[in-house]
Amino acid sequence: MLSFLYRLVRTFQREHGYLPNVVVMNVSHYRLLQASLTEIDDPAELRRMLGLEIMLSADCVHPHVAWIAPANRSAAG
């Protein structure tokens, strides 16, 4: 799972010129990721290690990465 995510991130970076900040996956994918990284049991540590926020979606057939503007930015005004 980790090598698959690495390829997704690199492909995204090549296509867009910047790194993604989120990965979208379903619960089964997330469990596979956790199983491959048994030394990391804290979700926050997993996010830091990946450099990606993790969004779980039941509708997600295959994991994919994207860039989403952080919600904590305030609107210019």
Q: What is the pLDDT of residue 71?
A: 72
The average confidence (pLDDT) of the chain is 92
Mean pLDDT by 10 residues, the chain (77 residues): 94 98 97 92 93 96 94 57
Q: Give the torsion sign (CA, 19, 10, 12, 4).
A: negative
Q: Which H helix or E strand runs over 55?
A: strand 53-56
Determine contact, residues 20/12, Cβ cutoff 8 Å: yes
Strands 53-56 and 22-25: parallel
Q: What is the pLDDT of residue 76?
A: 53
**Domains of the chain by residue range:** 2-66
